[in-house]
Amino acid sequence: MLSPSRHRARPALLAAAAAVAGLLLAGLPATVSNAADQGSCRPDGLYATPGVDVPYCSVYDTAGREKMGADHQRRVIGYFTGWRTGKDGTPAYLAPDIPWDKVTHLNYAFAHVDGSNKLSVGADGAANAATGMTWPGVSGAEMDPALPYQGHFNLLNKFKKQHPDVKTLISVGGWAETGGYFAADGTRVNSGGFYSMATNADGSVNQAGIDTFANSAVDFIRKYGFNGVDIDYEYPTTMKDAGNPLDWSLSNARRSGLVKGYAALMKSLREKLDRAGSADGRHYLLSVAAPSSGYLLRGMETFQVQKYLDYVNIMSYDLHGAWNEYVGPNASLFDDGKDAELAAAGVYSTSQYGGIGYLNTDWAYHYFRGSMPAGRINIGLPYYTRGFKNVTGGTDGLWGRAATTTCPAGSGLTKCGDGAVGIDNLWHDLDTAGREAPAGSNPMWHAKNLEKGVVGDYVTRYGFPADTRLTGTYARKYDATLVAPWLWNAEKKVFLSTEDEQSVAAKADYVVDQGIGGTMVWELAGDYGWNAAKGQYEPGSTLTSAMYEKFRSASPYGAERSTVELPAQALKIDVEFGQFPLGDSNYPISPKLKITNNTSTTLPGGTEFRFDYGTSAPGNAKDQSGWGTTVLSSDHTGSNVGGLKGSYHRVSLKLPAWQTLAPGASAELDLVYYLPVSTPSNWTVTFGGRTYALAGDLTRGTTVVEPGASPSPSPSASASASASPSPSGSASPSPSGSGGTGQCAAPAWTATTEYVGESKVSHRGHGWRAKWWTKGEEPGTTGEWGVWQDLGAC
């Protein structure tokens, strides 16, 4: 499952860039001076830099939800690329073209790690698209004379003054610039990039390189008025030959230490951004573009960096493409149980997998939901196609085959998929030998013209003659189970995976129903609009506007990680997953779980630990160390055709009766599970008749104590101020199995209210949680596998 990313920069369009003198934008958000008040705005599970009063309330409300404007209940994050300048004759996409009233965040792509381990956009000059270029005569592209730099950065800040709720982040890396960068002449400098900046040749953490980079990142965003940093490191995984083949000599040699280097990088960035934010009176954002492929995530251990991130953007696309022969959708929402690549790998027939297909957006969302609140997760949508030619078999090409041995130079492949070319590959990206890389990669506006049988007047700017004619008919097909449209040209045997209003509307509904934070799109220039005067589709904002309309009146996103109330008191007992076998040896996935007692009390034999892990893996985790690991309950069982139905499996394990754990001591056990999960969360520890949370979970509203301290009030009042039936917005009832108090804190269920996934209600003396959208279904009547999960008496 070698999956080239959509972050493929085009060297011919990359200009040199430079850092020039600049000023912080005026009008910084107002802050709350009291440190305790600031803590009330910290998102659930977000790491707090010790000793720093972070101004969280400049970005978050007291429920820990991001403030994005009254008509933006969910994020719409658009990548804006620096190379669509129009200077090469192809259509430009500039800051005035952005639908500023429809987006919440803009990620500028890309900056890079330079040869001295600093964040950079290259040397200054008039050809520098980021800081020096101008566009005379282009309406809306007039420079703001108050700023000491020009280029895209000037225009972004000019429009931010008009749209102050929109936040901008500088994105670093991408497919082409993770392990190097492009020089002023367009040639690639194989400097090592993220790989060598964060990890030494012997696999150890390069803390000096990390500190240099993190310090430069702070300087950069202050200088150019960005609201944060987005890291697009592709990929810090232990899987061999992952990421750009040009980087393999660097990444393969370091892969035993890439995950540790990545974690150290994100921790350093979080802490330095927090310190800068405290000084500047604003909270700086930190995000990553994360893979969605189960193959890549298996080599990223349990994605331990999630606690440092304001949110994660899932690259839930490039799930199928011409790096192999299996013809499938670029970014399906769900699995259909028929994925030819997974079938060939035995995923559906091997019992330990539970029939769970892991090449779809829903699976990737549930992977990250295992360790993060829904609202700190954004799913990715592609505004570009992927496609094949010479397809055989399948249904209108879907799940057919298209194999070839003529693979792009530099890909490292001797057998690959037969990617579409020519008019079906408009951007004509080049391989390392300068030849067109077959990929079927097109902006969505070009795909819409193919569907309509139109040859747009822009094709001459991409090297096609004015009299170009289309061969065959591009018939639109749609699979409702997958939520995936595509174009099928039966005459040419061409399959082009697309997105359109129907699929985007379904994905937006999914975001709302699941309580997800929002969407991220790569990239804004691929969206479309109809030009009636010319009779053709052109760059526009149809899909972005469709998401905005879905989200503008949605309920607030899910701000809590746990689906049941956790204890208000937490102990300093650390849990760490480590010693993962390397790469392909890590199956079944078999880390060691290390538990360290940092309290002043000895934990007795029989001490019980409980935790949740995400339903991205089947509920068959076990241990091989005699700790009696047992899956107590599962929010989902069986295959995931049409989607996973809940968030967690609840697990119990116990310190063996003959073993105690003294203060400062550690114990290890060997765990086994069968598909990747992110860091298990919602831990409790029970001994001496008391149950506590764990401080390392960073749960809002908990207080760190020593064992035996007097119980404190429930955290629900401070952690969940809202009493609305929105996901994670209501106070939580007692956990299942408790006797209850007779006082249910969650709002009462009503037959006329619409509830989304993670909504909590009270009904007939019990608390209930909705697993997915529902209306009119009475709690207690839907059965064990129905929509309502019984959380116990309250």
Is the Cα dihedral 615, 617, 620, 621 positive or negative? negative
Question: Which has the closest alpha carbon to 305: 272, 265, 254, 276?
Answer: 265
pLDDT in tens, 234-252: 999 999 999 999 999 999 9
- 713: pLDDT confidence band, cut at 50, 70 and 90? low
Mind giving me the DSSP string for 54-92? --GGGTB-TTSPBP--TT-SSEEEEEEESS--STTSSPP
If one compares 319 and 20, the residue with the highest pLDDT of the two is 319
Angle at 396 between CA 395 and CA 399, to 5 degrees: 50
| Phi-psi domain of 128 (left: phi exceeds 0; alpha: psi -120 through 50; beta: other) | beta
If one compares 84 and 783, the residue with the highest pLDDT of the two is 84
No. of helices (H) and no. of strands (E), the chain? 13, 33
Helix H, strand E, coil C: the string for 558-591 is CCCCCCCCCCCEEECEEEEEECCCCHHHCCCECC
pLDDT in tens, 200-212: 999 999 999 999 9
Q: Does the pLDDT value for residue 75 go beyond 90? A: yes
Q: Select from 3.40.50.300, 3.10.50.10, 3.30.750.24, 3.50.50.60 the CATH code of 385-498.
A: 3.10.50.10
- pLDDT value of position 106: 98
- 785: pLDDT confidence band, cut at 50, 70 and 90? low
Question: Which has the closest alpha carbon to 261: 176, 164, 192, 159?
Answer: 192
Mean pLDDT of the chain: 91
Q: Does the pLDDT value for residue 22 go beyond 60? A: no
- 758: pLDDT confidence band, cut at 50, 70 and 90? confident
The architecture that CATH gives domain 11-319+360-383+500-551 is Alpha-Beta Barrel (3.20)
- pLDDT value of position 712: 59
Of the listed ranges 423-437, 469-483, 669-683, the one predicted with least confidence: 423-437
Q: Select from 2.60.40.290, 2.102.10.10, 1.10.3720.10, 1.25.40.10 the CATH code of 562-700.
A: 2.60.40.290
Report field, pTM of the whole predicted structure over 0.85: yes
- pLDDT value of position 34: 61
The percent of residues above 90 in pLDDT, for the chain, comes to 83
- pLDDT value of position 468: 97
- pLDDT value of position 603: 98
Q: If DSSP codes are grouped into helix, strand and coil, which group holds residue 386?
A: strand
Residue 110 near residue 82, CB atoms below 8 Å: yes
Show Cβ contacts of residue 611 under 8 Å, excluding neighbours closer than 6 positions. Answer: 575, 650, 651, 680, 681, 682, 683, 684
Q: Does the pLDDT value for residue 19 go beyond 50? A: no
- pLDDT value of position 480: 98
pLDDT in tens, 236-292: 999 999 999 999 999 999 999 999 999 999 999 999 999 999 999 999 999 999 999
pLDDT in tens, 583-600: 999 999 999 999 999 999
- pLDDT value of position 67: 98
Beta bridge partners of 633: 650
- pLDDT value of position 729: 33
CA distance readout (Å), 766 to 223, 744, 749, 792: 54, 7, 11, 5
- 744: pLDDT confidence band, cut at 50, 70 and 90? confident
Residue 106 near residue 77, CB atoms below 8 Å: yes
pLDDT in tens, 692-702: 999 999 999 99
Residue 105 near residue 75, CB atoms below 8 Å: yes
- pLDDT value of position 539: 98
Of the listed ranges 134-148, 555-569, 711-725, the one predicted with least confidence: 711-725
pLDDT in tens, 91-123: 999 999 999 999 999 999 999 999 999 999 999
If one compares 11 and 749, the residue with the highest pLDDT of the two is 749
The rounded distance, in Å, linking the Cα atoms of 44 and 66 is 12
If one counts every other C-beta atom within 10 angstroms of the C-beta of residue 421, the result is 18
If you average pLDDT over residues 342-359, what whole number do you get?
Answer: 96
Give the position of tokens 């500039």: 94
- 757: pLDDT confidence band, cut at 50, 70 and 90? confident
Q: Does the pLDDT value for residue 10 go beyond 90? A: no
- pLDDT value of position 37: 84
Give the residue extent of every domain in the chain: 11-319+360-383+500-551, 385-498, 562-700, 726-794
- 421: pLDDT confidence band, cut at 50, 70 and 90? very high
Q: Does the pLDDT value for residue 648 go beyond 90? A: yes
Of the listed ranges 46-50, 129-133, 627-631, 788-792, the one predicted with least confidence: 788-792
Q: Select from 1.20.1730.10, 2.10.10.20, 3.40.50.300, 1.10.287.3510 the CATH code of 726-794.
A: 2.10.10.20
Q: Does the pLDDT value for residue 410 go beyond 60? A: yes
If one compares 528 and 715, the residue with the highest pLDDT of the two is 528
Q: If DSSP codes are grouped into helix, strand and coil, which group holds residue 112?
A: strand
- pLDDT value of position 735: 36
Q: Does the pLDDT value for residue 731 go beyond 60? A: no
Q: What is the DSSP letter of 372?
A: S
Q: Does the pLDDT value for residue 714 go beyond 70? A: no
- 752: pLDDT confidence band, cut at 50, 70 and 90? confident
